[in-house]
DNA sequence: ACAGTGAATTAGAATGATTCTTAATGGACG
DNA sequence: CGTCCATTAAGAATCATTCTAATTCACTGT
């Protein structure tokens, strides 16, 4: 049983604490700060971006802790990774089923809700395989920008 | 007009030479060797794997050339990149529309033909955006391997 | 308040894929 | 042969991420 995907909750300290605890994560100051960055606006951020936003007021969280914490959050199912750019991983606080629009020019990632999107005709899995997830990535670019020379 | 997606062609030197030339690429020894590795079996290989396979008989291609050549092939539309693993890029000699099954345990990538797969209900693109492609990635794992602790 | 304890944090080194710099090589052609 | 320009390639650099090892922290029990 997973926590139902909460969308618009007040992300104050007590709420975030409860969220972490529900996922078996001890709510430390740094972890709460990182969780706040991720859940406040429901964005898709890289570790570097999260590090900067977490340290906007006072520098109090190290780069190592950001990576440790993101891996912990991922392992506990609090966030998911979005793999669209070979250069860096993005972290998505929305773990519910949904897909992504990726602007290859700007690097911007936008959610595509899973309802309304129908995909059928997937081949049967080879025996002994279990589906972990299906990712749909729509790659777009700003019109007028030629991809070739 | 792009070359029609040829599937089963005899990948001898003259054929590969013509293929490269059709894409505006001068067919050098190293490039032909790399093309042979990619097109012989229609696999999804990383740069490292391609380097090794290219140098199986005689070591004659450097790592730098493998990366240069793969980027050249990609820019000229000879191959496409497959982004499923944050650790490395895979190169796909099949540039026709198709999707991928990714075994997160073994790292194996399998093609899913595009026909037979129907996806509908994609949201309209914001104005000034052009779709570059739609990737569907089915992530699977070998049954019995728990992703959690 | 204070020591003890295990978990969390962190600075900095290490790793590894990829790119960059720059110099050597090589084929085409006169 | 010698010139010319593309190609190749060794090794340095970059950069995201992980690892190591040591410090700090939050609690607990006194
Ligand atoms: Mn990771
Ligand atoms: Mn690349
Ligand atoms: Zn998302
Ligand atoms: Zn493929």
Characterize the bridge pairing of strands A98-103 and A129-142.
parallel
Contact assessment for residue B80 and residue B92, using Cβ atoms and an 8 Å cutoff: yes
B94-98 long-range Cβ contacts below 8 angstroms, 24+ apart: B94/B5, B94/B42, B95/B2, B95/B5, B96/B5, B97/B133
pLDDT at A149 over 50: no
The answer to whether B17 touches B28, Cβ cutoff 8 Å, is no
Contact of B130 with A141, CB cutoff 8 Å: yes
Q: Three-state DSSP class for B68?
A: helix
- Structure confidence by residue, pLDDT tens digits, B30-75: 999 999 999 998 999 999 999 999 999 888 899 999 999 999 999 9
Instruction: Check pLDDT > 90 for residue A72.
Output: yes
B6/A contact by beta carbon, under 8 A: no
The answer to whether B117 contacts A118, with C-beta atoms less than 8 Å apart, is no
B120, B117, B137: which is closest to A118 by C-alpha?
A: B120
Question: How many Å apart are CA A110 and CA A103, to the nearest integer?
Answer: 8
Structure tokens at A95: 């773990």
CB contact under 8 A, A119 and B140: no
Q: Is the confidence at residue B90, as pLDDT, over 90?
A: yes
> What is the pTM assigned to this prediction?
0.90
Domain boundaries, chain A: 13-90
With beta carbons under 8 A apart, name residues in chain A contacting B101: 123, 125
Mean pLDDT of chain B: 90
Query: Residue B77: how many CB atoms within 10 A of its CB?
Result: 14
DSSP state of B9: -
* pLDDT at position A104 over 50: yes
Rounded to whole angstroms, how far apart are CA atoms B81 and B35? 15
Residues of A with Cβ-Cβ distance to B82 under 8 angstroms: none
Report pLDDT for A89.
98
Q: Which neighbouring-strand residues pair with B135?
A: A137
What sign results for the dihedral spanned by CA atoms B143, A75, B48, A83?
positive
Q: What is the rounded average pLDDT for all residues in chain A?
A: 90
Among A129, A133, A141, A148, the residue to mutate for chain B (most B Cβ within 10 A)? A129
pLDDT for B149 beyond 50: no
Domain A13-90 coded CATH 1.10.10.10: yes
The answer to whether residue B147 neighbours chain A at the CB level (below 8 Å) is: yes
Q: How confident is the model at residue A46 (pLDDT cuts 50, 70, 90)?
A: very high
Our measurement of CA B149 to C1' D28, in angstroms, reads 28
Contact status of A77 with chain B (Cβ, < 8 Å): yes
Are the C-beta atoms of residues B136 and B99 closer than 8 Å to each other? yes
Q: Which residue is closest, via its CA, to the C1' of D7?
A: B28
Distance B5 CA to ligand 4 centre (A): 12
Report, in ranges, which bases of strand C sit under 7 Å from a protein C-beta. 7-12, 16-21
């Amino acid at each position: 049983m997973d926590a139902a995907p909460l969308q618009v909750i007040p992300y104050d300290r007590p709420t975030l604490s409860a969220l972490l605890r529900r996922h078996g994560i001890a709510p430390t100051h740094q972890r709460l700060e990182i969780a706040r960055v991720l859940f406040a606006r429901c964005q898709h951020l890289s570790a570097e971006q999260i590090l900067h936003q977490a340290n906007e007021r006072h520098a109090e969280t190290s780069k190592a802790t950001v990576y440790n914490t993101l891996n912990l959050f991922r392992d506990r199912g609090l966030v998911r990774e979005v793999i669209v750019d070979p250069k860096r991983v993005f972290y998505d606080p929305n773990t519910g089923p949904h897909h992504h629009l990726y602007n290859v020019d700007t690097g911007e990632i936008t959610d595509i809700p899973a309802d309304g999107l129908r995909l059928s005709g997937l081949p049967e899995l080879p025996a002994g395989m279990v589906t972990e997830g299906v990712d749909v990535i729509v790659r777009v670019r700003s019109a007028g920008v030629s991809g070739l020379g």
